[in-house]
Structures are given as C-alpha cells and as structure tokens.
Amino acid sequence: MLKRRALIKGLSTMPLIGGAFTTSLIGRSLIQPSPDEMVNRDYFKELGVRTFINAAGTYTALTGCLMPEEVTNAIKYASLQYVNLVELQDRVGERIAEMVKCEGAMVTAGAASAITLGTAGVLS
C-alpha cells in the first residue's frame, strides 16, 4: 500500500519532471515566445475580441485610455527589476506630495481603494 508520505514526496518532483518533459518535446518557442514573436502577435484577434475607435471618452469598461509611450516604457523598465514594494510606495508618495505641494500622497488602485485607505488613515 502506498503511504501518504511517499505519495507527497513523489508528487513534489512533478513540476521538475513536467518542465523538463515539456521543454524537450514542445520546444522553447511554444512555451515562451521570443520578443519578435510577441510584437507580431495580435492577442485580441487570438481571443476573438473586437477592437474599436473610442469616441466615448475615458471609461473603465472601455479599457480606460491609451497609455503614452513614456508610461509603457516605464512599465517595461519596472517589469525587469525587483524592488521592495513598501519602499517604492513610500518614495513615490513622497515624490507626488512634493510635486503637488502637500503633506503626503499615495498611489492607489482606484477611487474605491483611495477612499478605503483615506478612511483608514483618518481612523488610525
């Protein structure tokens, strides 16, 4: 009879076996596309999602707004670095507060989280 300990020990090696098996049989290009392949992919077409010209304005349901190149460059840069998020949040808040000349600032995920965090700040 198979013991629980032996089963768990055997299952712990599955990701390693699966990774080696998948890489050798399927190939790198299907698992992780090269940057050139990613640029030429039309993700929305692959998913069957229709794109459109937004004449309505900035609405979350319409994916908000298009990001300027500076924003996408910053996202790409940040995606390749590791940082302590608490330290980053503090420094960004300090920088924004300095720019708008106020005591403090904080980046939030949206209006609802800003209200929640503001309320927590007042109560603490």
Length of the chain as a residue count: 124
Neighbours of 113 (CB within 10 A): 12
For 15, left (φ over 0), alpha (ψ -120 to 50), or beta? alpha
Neighbours of 61 (CB within 10 A): 6
pLDDT in tens, 51-78: 999 999 888 788 888 899 999 999 999 9
Q: Tell me the CB-side half-sphere exposure of residue 41, using CA atoms within 13 A.
A: 12
Q: Where are the alpha helices (DSSP H) in 1-124?
A: 4-11, 14-26, 28-31, 35-40, 43-47, 69-78, 85-100, 111-123
Is 0.75 surpassed by the pTM of this model? no
Confidence at residue 111, expressed as pLDDT on a 0 to 100 scale: 87
In DSSP terms, 64 is beta-bridged to: 59
Neighbours of 110 (CB within 10 A): 8
pLDDT in tens, 83-115: 999 999 999 999 999 999 999 999 998 888 999
Distance set, CA 114 to CA 21, 75, 97 (Å): 46, 22, 15
